[in-house]
Structures are given as structure tokens and as C-alpha cells.
Chains A and B, each alone.
Chain A
Amino acid sequence: MKPRYERPVLVRHGLGGANKFGALPGLRSMKTFEGIPVDELVRQYGSPLFLFSERILRDRYRELKDQLARRFANFTMAWSYKTNYLGAICKVFHQEGAWAEVVSGMELKKALRAGIPGRQILFNGPAKSAADLDLAFREGVRVHFDHLDEILLAEKTASALGIVPEVGIRVNISELPVPTWDRFGFNLESGRALEAVRRIVRRGKLDLRALHAHIGTFIQEPDAYRMAAKALGKFAITLEAEEGVRIDAIDLGGGFASHNTLHAQYLPGEEATPSFGQYVERIAAGFDEAYDGPEPPHLILETGRALVDDAAVLISTVLGNKRLLDGRRAVIVDAGVNILPTAWWYRHEIHPAQDFYGTAEPTVFFGPLCMNIDVVRDRIMFPPLQVGDRIVIGHVGAYNVTQWMQFITDRPNVVMVSSRGEHGLIRRAEDFETLLAQEEIPSWL
């Protein structure tokens, strides 16, 4: 074979070339996804391309479920629709036995359309219209309230239907080692939560059954869950003793970290992220501290990110190379932040999709958008890439295919690969027609 040409480069010695764990992790190329050549998939479905692994989805779900099963007699996992509500993704989790957690009328309808019984749907979120509440109550969906005005609206809606639906309230907790998300729900320590419960109980139009908390996102300190579980457990016990409310479910929301690495994070996600076992053990410890003797109520978890993030990659193709003034090499690829908004939060891991040669040097990956903010990864030691080479961006399963936008370019194909080697579209790429379909030109123009 003819030797491949390697471009000569000068690399400035930089700090961070090694850290206390030794040399930087070596790059490896990812030529296949779940055993199927990336090239073959791109030939069939185009680039950029989101690829989801059915096997990883199920494995992650089962890993968490097995951990829960070891410590809790009574628990349920609900799939967080907003994290990824593509029908195929939801189907996999529902086949595994997950309930649905929705945060809008739209998501609620999607879950109902998929055939999920109302009693297996949890309705969270700060914005629920009268029509949303009406639909939810009719279907037996359990609604978790965010603020008092919503409770008033729900009471009115329920009275009009002539029913007393089972509901919950969302609680936020100050005394946790994570930033308090006091914008959602009623604060526990300040007494707002108790006040909300008393209102609901006195008016008697809603049947309070559940406490819900969602302490944050990408929580890397499992002990925060122990504290939250303990706080909610103790609150439930107080409510039972003092208000006569029987709390039958405690919903600890989600927020488990995936194996991504935040921009500000020192250790890579693969090392820093706690295991499901660690989170679950802490929750059990919290319940143990709150419930000394009696069985704790039904535990609900709505983990989204940690289940789906690691199950997907984004394939992108190199459009060009250039050298920036600071000496970094820039690579322009065909996937930008319009389809990968999580690039703003994470240092996504990136692998070449083919064999690579030459010296790795600090590289920035730019997307195709004519916008300064379109940075896929701002600095990574990477070998030289040729036009037409491909890269594999890892851990992209959460939020991207719900938060992406049609901006400057179309949204690409999304494909699922089964563990038996089958693959198929789970969302068709948009095209020019999609762009025009929603548009109108008013008559006076």
C-alpha cells in the first residue's frame, strides 16, 4: 500500500496534555455502530445522521430497574417524554414497562395516542391549560401541581366534571447540596408546600396522593437524593399525622447524570458519573431514615437523560479544514448546534469514523451554520481529517431530537439499530417541502 501523506504540523506544547491520571485518553476510531459499518448507514440515510441503539436503551433501563428492584418493593419508572418523545424511543421504554411522564398538553396527547392508559401517565410542568387538565382528569391521569393558580384552575375543572381526581404537588427543597430549583413547585422549608396541601385538603375538591420533587439536572452528588427522599418521606409522614392525607406515591423525578462531560467539569463523565446503584442506594437510605418501620410509599422515578443519552451518536461529515489565528485547527462539519443543542452544555466525546494517521493537535469543530455560536466542540486533541471523513459524536440521545431546531439547515434522519442488526428510520429527515408546508403568504402581500 502506498504510504498515506501526512501534513507536517507544529504543535505548541500545551498545558493539559497530560493530567494526574497520565496521558490523555487515546483516541479510537468508531467505524461501526452496533456492529454495522457507519459508512453503510450514511450511504443509506445520509449525513448528518442520528443513530440510536435499541440494545443500549434497554440495557440502561434494565440496569436501573434491577437496581431499584433490589431495594424497593414498590416502584415505577416513568419515561420522561420531553427528553426524547420520538415514538420508537417511547415504545421501547413502554415495552420495558415504563409509564409516561409528560409536561404539556401536547405530550399528554402523544402518550394517550400511543395507547398509554391515563392511570400510567404523570402530568408535570408549570403550564397546564384548562383543556389540558380537563383531558387529564377525564383519562385518570395523575397531575402534579406547580403553583396555586394551577390548583385553583384544577379545582374548577374537576368540579365541572363532577369528580375528585387523585393529584400530587411538586415540592422544592432548599436544604440540598445542589442549587434549589425554587421556580418549580412549592418550597418545603418555607412552609409553602404545607400551605398548598392545607388548601387542597380544606377545599376537598382534589384528592392529594403524591409528592413530587425534581431536585435538578445532571446531579453528580448521589447523596442529594438521600436528602430529598428523606425530606419528602418525613413530609409525607407529617401530612398523614397532621392533615390526615395519605400519600401513596413519592416521585423523586429525574436528574441522574449521563456519561457526558459538562463544560465546566474536570473529570470525564465516564469516570465522574455515579452508577445507578449509587443513586438508588442513596434513595433507599433516605427512605430508611424517614420511614423507620412502615413500608415507604410507591417510589416513582422519571429519569430521562441517564437512560437515553448514552444510547445515541450523531454521525457528521467533514466539509473543510482551516487554521485559526490562535493556531488551533478548525474543522467544519455538517452537524451544527441547531441539531445538537447539547453542545452548549457538554464537551461531547468525538471519535473519527475511519482509521486515522498523523499527529493529534488541538482542534475546534464548527458546525455548518453561518453563526458564530455554532461550535460543536471547542477544543479537543484530534488527528488530521480530510474532507469527506466522518466523525462520531457520542452521548447525544437526550434532548437533542426534542430541542433541535430547523434553522438554516433541515433536520436530518434519525435511525434505530436493533441488537439483531436490523436498522430503520424512526424519524424522517425534513426537506424543502417541510420548510414550506407550514408557511402562509397573507393575501395583501
Chain B
Amino acid sequence: MALTAAWGGKWLLELLLRPYARVLFSRDLAVGVLVLAAIGTFPRLGLATLLAVAAAHSLAWLFGLGGLALREGGAACTAVLTTLAVGVYAPEGGHLFALVLLGAVFSVLYTASFEAVFGAVALPTHSLPFVAAAWTVHLAARMLPSSEPPFPLTTPLPWIPMGMLESTWLDIPSSLVFLHGSVAGVLVLAALFLHSRIGLLLGVLGGLVSFGMRAWLREGVPWSTLDAIAAFNAVLAAVAMGGIWFVPQPSSMVLAAGSSSVACALTYALFPVASSLYLPVLSLPFVVTTHLLLTASRSREQDRRPRSALPAERPEEALASHWMRIRRFGDVAWLPFRLPFRGEWVVSQGHDGAYTHQGPWRHGLDFEGRTPEGLAYVREGKELRDFVCYGLPVLAAGPGTVVEIADGVADNRPGEVNTLENWGNAVVLAHGAGLYSVYAHLQNRSIRPKKGDFVVAGTELGRCGNSGRSPTPHLHFQVQRAIPLGSPTLPADFGDVITRTGETLTLANRVIPAQGEQVRALVRDEAVARSLAFLPGSRYVLEASGRREEARVEVNLWGRRLLRSDQAMLFLDPYDAGLVLVDFHGSRRSLLRYVLLALARVPFDQAPSIEWRDSVARRLLLPGILRPFADLAEVVLPEIGNLEVHYRAYREEGQLHVVGVAEQWKTHTVVLLGKGELTIEIEHKNHRDLIKVREEVTS
């Protein structure tokens, strides 16, 4: 019961506050509170917006737009803005009540239809529905007979000193909600700060650009409403382009500044046109600016500098997930390949090799098998069967379609080469447009699939042989841009490569193997895989000195697996060769945070001991008070946010130990194999914590 009540309460709060938060591109209810407080400095206006929110929600509900749309509050947010615009621009007559309701109705309709129309071309509506609704109300109001307003909406709270309502630079933030006065301005600034420090920085940047534009274009002209409108459009454009649509970086700051100046110029350009129609410009310049720049940016040759951001609640999160992806999974568009063989082989010729990997074929890779003593053959090496890798299976490096096969070329005797049929017996797999992998010098008549077959990664394509330009058995692998054998090559990077140096095994997540390296793919360990499966629906209990947290494995709408407790979400990605804990969102008090620190990645490999490096976001370890500064610093110096962890795993009977060492802290995790139980010991400076995670088995 209590839970239902709490849930109902949260619903209500979301319905009430999220529309206000969305004014500043936020979903945070606390931001909503501050925005509402800013509007509340004009109490009647505040009440009118509450009425508009209620009307918009009711209409959206009656109309059947659904609970999600209601909770996201898009239409209600439009209604709030429309009401604010009515309060400022329209209240000539006494039809306020009707105008507010009319604004709410049009807000719902415009929001829903614009989202449908612009969604189809992948453009945001931002405040375009608001501009349309406000104009509609504005035009309608002009048809009504004018009269003295019975209670003007724009009366401020009586106990705000008059001085605080005078025009200052704080009018720029307050003009984001169509108000004026320092109190509202400070509250809006506070809301923006709470939502995002990067957002605030971008807002300041937008404001400064608008000042610059004014000084340049309107020198000597006294400050007017037009300048305030230009300034708030510039601020909005900077926040949206620099923080929402692009990953916050120095380059996106430049783009944000550019967007601000475009928005200013557009304001100055559109103002006379709109005025001649007796319409306010509102935030139209901002919407036009974003649409222009977004559409134009999509025609760029490469999505770099600035890089488009994935949807995130805040710029900080977009930034963090951007760097997390690049550091941990590589800055490449395609999935990494898997080594095209089983067991340990040696790279006998790498990229830009001395023998044949040159010119258009510079990205070729030759692999051969070796004995423990480092020889390529046993006995005397006079027969093909003496060679370690001769006849070993060659596997598909990724899922793809067989587009080309060459077969029927006899294997050379050791030491001889066939330069007429350079590639020998070979298979070409297509992995998508412009991405093909080639497996050459295969054993005669060993190729298994047929042209047109679809194969998954790891499917046996044939056997390692000695056909074509190959003096001793080896596998030539290359990634190329086109189908024909011998097309120009691309760098070939592999995922989950284990490199052996002496006794030490090192796992690299994404790497181009270098000449002379002894490499192998992961050899899946069933027991470790089963113990860290995190199957959807399973429940875990986390316990640490007096704290207890329950979490459940869920799969969200986008197919991502996450461990969710009432405090936080831990996104995880268990695949066949390992477990990756991707990202953490939520309260710092959540014990799930430590699980990410302790096990950012675990390979499911049979090695007795293995080492690897991974990155976690430093923000996970910073005290809350330092995080806003760290956020800002990360925009310019992304390495600040990175904490490299050196992991080592080893085994004991029935246990896998994972030790993670980073500056200032150390984790030691014991995975009880077959029991779904973890013990994480954390040493951070002089502090020591022990966390037990166990699966709750429901019979």
C-alpha cells in the first residue's frame, strides 16, 4: 500500500514539476521546483501556469496521448510557456482565463502534431509548438474586445523590493521564462546550475556572444526588448547545440558560440517581419537555428569535432558516455573482429610488414602456429604436416555473407611459392557496405561454406594451408573495402585479444596485433560465464557494513541489460566471451557503484591468470561537492575524468579472484564459481569496505 502511495505521489510530482523543468531542457524535478519558484515571483502568473499545466494534462489524457507523454510533460511545458507569453504580450483584455485555456488546448495539439511531423525527419521540435500556440492565442486575443484586466498577471510578489525588478543582466536568465527581475533571474540561474554546470557555462557563453553581437551590430542603440529576445535565443541555442545535440568539447563550444550568433542575427532579421504581423518573435530564432545547424551538420563528411551526442539527460552524461565508449570500446564505427583461428598463433607479418604487406595491402596480417619452443614446425619441417598450423581450422572473424571463394589451388611444398595464384585458396566475407574480410592461402579443397552462405563469427571457413604466394603454411587475413581479392586494405582491429609475453597473458579489448606478438582469442570458461550471467529476472542482495541494497536484473526497452536497485542503475553487457559493466547512474550511496569499480570487465577465459586494463569514470569516486567542477574541467581536459584500472584475475579452487588497482584505490573481488556470489573488498586511501553480493534464489 505504502509503495503504491509513494508511487502515486511520485507520479503527481512528475506531472506537476516536469513541465517546468523541461523549460530548461531538464527532467529533474528539483529543477522544476526552481523554475516554478522563479515564475512564482509573479504569483498570479504562477497560478495561471499551474492552471495551464492542469488543463494541458487533462486534455492530453482525454485525448488519449498516454501516460508516458503525460509524465514527460512536453505538452504541459508548451502550455506553461504559452501562458507566460500570454502574460507578457497579450493581457490587454479580461479574457485571461479563456486565453490560458485556449493556450493549453493549442499547446497539446501543436506539441503532438509537430512531434509527429518533425520526428519523421529526425529533428527536435524544441519550443516550436510553443511559438505556434502563443501566436495562435496572440492572434485570437486581438479579435477580443479590449478591456481593463481585472487582475493583471504581471504583478510581482508585494515583498520583492522594487530595485530587484529593475532591468539588469539578470533579465537575460529571467527572460528564458519571459519574466524580468533579479530574483527570477537568480532562480533560473540556480535551476540551470542544478541541471547542468556545462549547460550553465554554455548559457553564459551564449549571453556573452549576444552582447558581442549587439556591440557590433547595434552600437549606440539603447537596450531594448529586442536585445533581450536576441540574448535569450542566443542562450537557448548555445545550450541546445553545445550540450544536447553535440558532445561537450572545445569544438562544440565553438559551435555553440556560432549558433548563438546565428540566433542573434536571426532575431534581428525576423523581428521586423514578425512585428509587421503584430507577432512576437519569441523563441522562433532559436528553433530555426537548431534546425538549420542540425540538418547542415548531418551532411558533414565525418561526425567529428564536434561529435553528435547520444540521447542523455544532461550534457555531463553525454560527455561521460562519449569518452567511456571511446576509451573502452574504441573510436571505430564497426564491431571489432575476432581472431580467425583457435589457440595461440604468432603474427609473422603485421601491418606495413617487410615482405608483402605494403602499398594497397599494407594492412594485411599473417598468422602462423608455433611450438612451445617457438618453432613453426616439428621434426625437420620438410613436410606440410610438420607445420604446426597446417590443417588447423580458420574461422570467420565476424558475421557475414560469403561473397567470393577461390578453391582448387594445390598446396605448395614447404619453401616453394606460387606467384601466379597469389592468394591461393581464399574466402571473402561481406560484413556490410565497404567492409570485407579475406582469408587466404587455405588448404586445397578445405573450404566449407558456399558462396551466398551467411556465417556467424567463429564458423569454420576452411583449414590453414600453403596455397598461393605462401612458402610455409600460414593464414593471411585482411580487411578490405571491396569484394575482389586484392582490393585495398583497411586496418584490421580485433576485440578480445590475449597476448602472451613469457608467462604473462594480457587481454586487449580492441587492438591491431603487431608483428611477433603471440595472440589468441578467448577460450570460454563455462563456470565463470555461468557465475556472472546476470540473467534477466534474477535478484541480488548487496550488503556492506550495515547497508543493504536489493537489485534486480532487467532488460529495458532498448534491449540493454541493467541491474536496478531503488537507488541506482548499473548497465551491464554479458556477451559470450565476457562481462562488461558499462555504466552507472544513480545515487552515490548505492553499492552498485562499487560493483562497477571492481568488475568493469571480466573475461570468461580459461587462463589461470590474466591481466587487462580498463577505464572507469573518475566521477564515480569524487566526493559530491567536487563533481560540478570536475564536470566542467572534463569538457576541456577529458583525461581528468578518466581513471585507468589495472586488473588481474587468477583462480583458486572454485573461485575467481579479480584484483583491480588504480591510483589511490584497490579492489579485490572473489567470485564464488557456481554460486552467483561475489565478495568485493575495497581499499580507498585508508578506508576499507567489504561488500557481499549474492544472488537471491527464489524457489
Bound together, the chains give a CA A281 to CA B389 distance in angstroms of 11
B641-673 contacts to A (CB < 8 Å): 650-655, 672-673
- By a CB distance below 8 angstroms, the chain A residues around B674 are 117-120, 140
Residue of A nearest to B650 (CB): A95
A61-95 vs B, Cβ < 8 Å mask (1 yes, 0 no): 00101111111111110000000000000110011
B488 at interface by CB-CB < 8 Å: no
Among B392, B523, B675, which residue has its beta carbon within 8 angstroms of that of A117? B675
Among B342, B343, B525, B672, which residue has its beta carbon within 8 angstroms of that of A97? B525
B161 at interface by CB-CB < 8 Å: no
Is A97 within 8 A of B675, CB to CB? no
Is B527 within 8 A of A120, CB to CB? yes
Bound together, the chains give a CA A99 to CA B392 distance in angstroms of 26
A209 to chain B, nearest CB (A): 13
- By a CB distance below 8 angstroms, the chain B residues around A59 are 372
B462 to chain A, nearest CB (A): 12
B395 to chain A, nearest CB (A): 8
B380 to chain A, nearest CB (A): 16
Is A97 within 8 A of B344, CB to CB? no
A115 at interface by CB-CB < 8 Å: yes
Among A70, A72, A94, which residue has its beta carbon within 8 angstroms of that of B653? A94
B142 at interface by CB-CB < 8 Å: no
A96 at interface by CB-CB < 8 Å: yes
Bound together, the chains give a CA A71 to CA B653 distance in angstroms of 26
Bound together, the chains give a CA A118 to CA B654 distance in angstroms of 9
- By a CB distance below 8 angstroms, the chain A residues around B393 are 71
B530 at interface by CB-CB < 8 Å: yes
Main secondary structure of the interface of B (DSSP, over half): loop
Is B458 within 8 A of A76, CB to CB? no
Known: A120-B527, A120-B674. A69 touches B652 (CB 8 A): no
- By a CB distance below 8 angstroms, the chain B residues around A69 are 342-344, 520, 523, 606
Bound together, the chains give a CA A170 to CA B470 distance in angstroms of 45
Bound together, the chains give a CA A95 to CA B526 distance in angstroms of 15
Is B530 within 8 A of A94, CB to CB? no
- By a CB distance below 8 angstroms, the chain A residues around B608 are 58, 95-97
Bound together, the chains give a CA A72 to CA B341 distance in angstroms of 10
B369 at interface by CB-CB < 8 Å: yes
B607 at interface by CB-CB < 8 Å: yes
Bound together, the chains give a CA A69 to CA B525 distance in angstroms of 12
Is B527 within 8 A of A117, CB to CB? yes
A116 at interface by CB-CB < 8 Å: yes
Among B378, B391, B520, B654, which residue has its beta carbon within 8 angstroms of that of A120? B654
A114 at interface by CB-CB < 8 Å: yes
B314 at interface by CB-CB < 8 Å: no
B524 at interface by CB-CB < 8 Å: yes
A102 to chain B, nearest CB (A): 14
Is A70 within 8 A of B369, CB to CB? yes
Is B606 within 8 A of A65, CB to CB? yes
Is B341 within 8 A of A70, CB to CB? yes
- By a CB distance below 8 angstroms, the chain B residues around A114 are 653-654
Bound together, the chains give a CA A293 to CA B455 distance in angstroms of 12
Is B655 within 8 A of A67, CB to CB? no
| Residue from the set B372, B388, B526 with the largest chain A CB neighbour count within 10 Å | B526
Is B527 within 8 A of A71, CB to CB? no
- By a CB distance below 8 angstroms, the chain B residues around A96 are 608, 651
Is A91 within 8 A of B653, CB to CB? yes
B403-418 vs A, Cβ < 8 Å mask (1 yes, 0 no): 0000000000000000
Bound together, the chains give a CA A115 to CA B672 distance in angstroms of 9
- By a CB distance below 8 angstroms, the chain B residues around A73 are 342, 458, 524
A: contact size bracket:
35 or more
Is B344 within 8 A of A117, CB to CB? no
Residue of A nearest to B530 (CB): A119
Is B526 within 8 A of A76, CB to CB? yes
- By a CB distance below 8 angstroms, the chain A residues around B520 are 69
A380 to chain B, nearest CB (A): 29
A274 to chain B, nearest CB (A): 12
- By a CB distance below 8 angstroms, the chain B residues around A298 are 526
B670-684 vs A, Cβ < 8 Å mask (1 yes, 0 no): 001111000000000
B12 to chain A, nearest CB (A): 48
A443 to chain B, nearest CB (A): 43
- By a CB distance below 8 angstroms, the chain B residues around A95 are 608, 650-653
Is A63 within 8 A of B372, CB to CB? yes
| Residue from the set A72, A94, A97 with the largest chain B CB neighbour count within 10 Å | A97
Is B524 within 8 A of A94, CB to CB? no
Bound together, the chains give a CA A118 to CA B653 distance in angstroms of 12
B637 to chain A, nearest CB (A): 42
B676 to chain A, nearest CB (A): 10
Bound together, the chains give a CA A412 to CA B369 distance in angstroms of 44
Bound together, the chains give a CA A76 to CA B344 distance in angstroms of 17
Is B342 within 8 A of A90, CB to CB? no
Is A97 within 8 A of B651, CB to CB? yes
Is A74 within 8 A of B524, CB to CB? yes
Is A71 within 8 A of B652, CB to CB? no
Bound together, the chains give a CA A68 to CA B341 distance in angstroms of 12
- By a CB distance below 8 angstroms, the chain B residues around A277 are 378, 388
Is B654 within 8 A of A71, CB to CB? no
A98-129 contacts to B (CB < 8 Å): 99, 114-120
Known: A73-B458, A97-B607. A117 touches B654 (CB 8 A): yes
A348-386 vs B, Cβ < 8 Å mask (1 yes, 0 no): 000000000000000000000000000000000000000
- By a CB distance below 8 angstroms, the chain A residues around B341 are 70
Bound together, the chains give a CA A95 to CA B653 distance in angstroms of 6
Is B606 within 8 A of A97, CB to CB? yes
Bound together, the chains give a CA A169 to CA B615 distance in angstroms of 47
Bound together, the chains give a CA A34 to CA B655 distance in angstroms of 29
Bound together, the chains give a CA A115 to CA B655 distance in angstroms of 8
- By a CB distance below 8 angstroms, the chain A residues around B525 are 97
A33-78 contacts to B (CB < 8 Å): 58-59, 63, 65-76
Known: A69-B343, A69-B344, A72-B342. A116 touches B654 (CB 8 A): yes
B293-312 vs A, Cβ < 8 Å mask (1 yes, 0 no): 00000000000000000000
Bound together, the chains give a CA A174 to CA B636 distance in angstroms of 74
Bound together, the chains give a CA A97 to CA B529 distance in angstroms of 13
Bound together, the chains give a CA A70 to CA B608 distance in angstroms of 17
24 contacts between A and B (CB under 8 A): A63-B372, A67-B343, A69-B606, A70-B344, A71-B343, A71-B392, A73-B342, A73-B524, A74-B524, A75-B523, A94-B652, A95-B650, A95-B652, A95-B653, A96-B608, A99-B527, A115-B653, A115-B655, A117-B673, A118-B674, A119-B527, A119-B674, A120-B527, A120-B674
4 more A-B contacts (CB under 8 A) besides A58-B608, A69-B344, A72-B342? A69-B606, A114-B654, A116-B653, A118-B674
Q: Which residues of A contact B (CB under 8 A)?
A: 58-59, 63, 65-76, 90-91, 94-97, 99, 114-120, 140, 275, 277, 281, 293, 298
Among all A-B residue pairs, the 4 with the closest Cβ atoms: A117-B674, A70-B343, A115-B654, A69-B343
